[in-house]
Amino acid sequence: MQSSRRQFILLAATLASSSVFVGKAQAATAVAESDPTAQALGYKADASQVDHAKFTKYQPGQACANCQLFQGKAGDATGPCPIFAGKEVSAKGWCSAYVKKA
């Protein structure tokens, strides 16, 4: 719990120092799994495709929709994530920056 909180604070600090807050008017494109950041974080648009051997942190049931960083509304199929500034992640996706929604 404490480490999740620390991770979230770290992420928040990182995000605050970069220009990731993109206006709503911009059309967001979906994050490609081939995107270098996506590859580094093991992002998959379908969490069931996560490389479990490489990303042992992944637990079944975890998905962008229940991640603290997901900025879509409940029920949205996709939504913005500050890790991937200006792009949208799948609500069913997952990456290793996952932080369980409080």
Q: List contacts with ligand SF4 (CB under 6 A).
A: 43, 64, 67, 69-70, 81, 83, 89, 93-95, 97-98
Q: Which is nearer to ligand SF4, 23 or 63 (CB)?
A: 63
Question: What Cα–Cα distance (Å) separates residue 19 from each residue in 6, 11, 31, 84?
Answer: 21, 13, 18, 11
Kindly calculate the radius of gyration of the chain based on its CA atoms and give it in whole angstroms.
13
Q: Which is nearer to ligand SF4, 1 or 96 (CB)?
A: 96
| Bridge partners, 79 (sequence order) | 89
**Least distance in Å: CB of 18 to ligand SF4?**
15
**Least distance in Å: CB of 38 to ligand SF4?**
8
**Least distance in Å: CB of 11 to ligand SF4?**
8
Where helices occur in the chain by DSSP H, the ranges are 2-16, 36-41
